[in-house]
Amino acid sequence: MSQQEPDPTQQLRIKWDQRYADAEKVARPAEVLLSNAHLLPEQGSALDLACGLGGNALFLAQRGFTVEAWDLSSVAIQRLVQAAGQLKLNNLHARVRDVEGQPPQTEQFDVIVVSYFLERSLIPTLIQALKPGGLVFYQTFTRQAVSSEGPQNPAFRLADQELLQLFSQLQVCVYREEGRLGDLSLGSRDVAMLVAQK
Ligand SMILES: C[S@@+](CC[C@H](N)C(=O)[O-])C[C@H]1O[C@@H](n2cnc3c(N)ncnc32)[C@H](O)[C@@H]1O
């Protein structure tokens, strides 16, 4: 009997499980969230989509939000559950979930954070999943870059100004994309960041 190849989602899961098994990887909130945290509402429901080790989720839960953190990798989710337990964050709910197969529901969240995950077809659903007045914080790699960090496949990186197009239905509060302007040893390079309100 021939062994079946794992399907593409299963292959992705295996890849990310292997990466998160590396104990040196640590959870960090994205700069777009850290440097714009003053824009957050005082409380509410938040989603860290494709959360990995959940740096954004931990940050939001520590600020008192009721947080959902979803990722395909069970290794990442186990590590996040453990971190939340150590910090006694009962308001953080980390779940293994394929966000393409099971996206969020309409008007479910006050805040959605996405860092370093780009599935363009999901953006309209994310916009729908924000409550009226809700905020999205988004940060991921751009094609114009200074370092060689991030995915090599340009399809997984943003074109110039692309986040602005993807979220053009929303009111943009913050946008940053430095490209290769000026002193390349300084600044927030390789990424675009957006905060926008529904
Ligand atoms: C580059 S990591 C970013 C993780 C985290 N957001 C961060 O900033 O550190 C991309 C994440 O997307 C997750 N992922 C990829 N496809 C997914 C899917 N369909 N559903 C849920 N998570 C997915 C991976 O498991 C991985 O944790």
Q: 74: alpha, beta or left, given left = phi > 0 and alpha = psi -120 to 50?
A: alpha
Q: What is the pLDDT of residues 9-56, one digit of tens each?
A: 999 999 999 999 987 888 999 999 999 999 999 999 999 999 999 999
Regarding the beta carbon of 94 and ligand 1, being less than 6 Å apart is answered no
Please state, rounded to an integer, the average pLDDT across all residues of the chain: 96
Q: What is the pLDDT of residues 144-174, one digit of tens each?
A: 999 999 999 999 999 999 999 999 999 999 9
CATH architecture of 8-17+25-197: 3-Layer(aba) Sandwich (3.40)
Q: What is the pLDDT of residue 1?
A: 45
CA 100 to ligand 1: nearest atom = 19
Ligand 1 site-directed mutation target among 31, 72, 112, most atoms within 8 Å of CB: 72
Q: What is the DSSP string of 31-86?
A: HHHHTTGGGS-SS-EEEEET-TT-HHHHHHHHTT-EEEEEES-HHHHHHHHHHHHH
Give CA–CA dist 114/99, Å, rounded: 12
Q: Where are the domains of the chain?
A: 8-17+25-197
- Cβ atoms < 10 Å from Cβ of 16: 18
